[in-house]
């Protein structure tokens, strides 16, 4: 994404546009699925993902000015660069928004999450969230065990989750081998 300070809800494509593959996101630990959001209550693929990954807790969050108390403050907080010590799992059942993550060179990658998209951000990855220009998303939030929503704004490189993320994803080449950070 570009480095413009324009409205955060815009796509922020570079010129010329550059697109990142799902494989490239997976190299950063970001996983995604395309699911049937109109039938999430009975979707066998969602059920399988939840069972396989141990997602035992689920709720919904609607982010829009009319439905989220303290909307302006919360959307500002969501857009602060932060990490969590657990995975962040979001399944967009309506609307859309952007998750921004850092690549290995610290450049932002903007991920447009639309209806039917499920995304998993690994523990320890710096990221942020904002709505797009439609100003609405309804997301299923999934957790392993009890929900933990604690964000740690950058810098929090000392946290074990961050160190593990760096070891597992940042200091690896594309073949999955550790690389010398001093090289």
Q: Give the N- to C-terminal CA distance of the chain in Å, as an integer.
A: 26
12 is in an annotated binding site: no
84 is in an annotated binding site: yes
The CB-side HSE value for 4 (13 A sphere, CA atoms) comes to 13
Q: What is the DSSP letter of 110?
A: E
Give the span between the Cα atoms of 142 and 32, in whole angstroms. 14
Give the span between the Cα atoms of 35 and 47, in whole angstroms. 11
82 is in an annotated binding site: yes
88 is in an annotated binding site: yes
Give the span between the Cα atoms of 2 and 11, in whole angstroms. 9
Per-residue tokens: 46: 């969602």
Q: What is the DSSP letter of 17?
A: -
SS3 166: helix
| Residues tagged in the binding site annotation for Ni(2+) | 82, 84, 88, 127
| Residues tagged in the binding site annotation for Fe(2+) | 82, 84, 88, 127
| Residues tagged in the binding site annotation | 82, 84, 88, 127
């Amino acid at each position: 994404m570009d480095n413009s300070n324009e409205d955060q809800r815009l796509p922020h494509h570079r010129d010329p546009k550059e697109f990142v593959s799902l494989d490239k996101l997976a190299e950063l630990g970001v996983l995604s699925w395309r699911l049937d959001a109109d039938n999430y209550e009975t979707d066998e693929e969602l059920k399988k993902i939840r069972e396989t990954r141990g997602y035992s807790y689920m709720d919904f969050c609607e982010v829009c000015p009319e439905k989220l108390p303290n909307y302006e403050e919360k959307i500002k907080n969501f857009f602060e660069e932060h990490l969590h010590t657990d995975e962040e799992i979001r399944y967009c059942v309506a609307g859309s928004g952007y998750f921004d993550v850092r690549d290995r060179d610290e450049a932002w990658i903007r991920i447009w999450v639309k209806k039917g998209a499920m995304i998993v951000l690994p523990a320890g990855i710096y990221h942020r969230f904002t709505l797009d220009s439609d100003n609405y998303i309804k997301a299923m939030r999934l957790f392993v065990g009890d929900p933990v929503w604690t964000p740690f704004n950058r810098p929090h490189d000392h946290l074990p989750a961050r160190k593990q993320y760096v070891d597992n994803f940042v200091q690896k080449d594309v073949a999955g081998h550790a690389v010398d950070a001093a090289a």
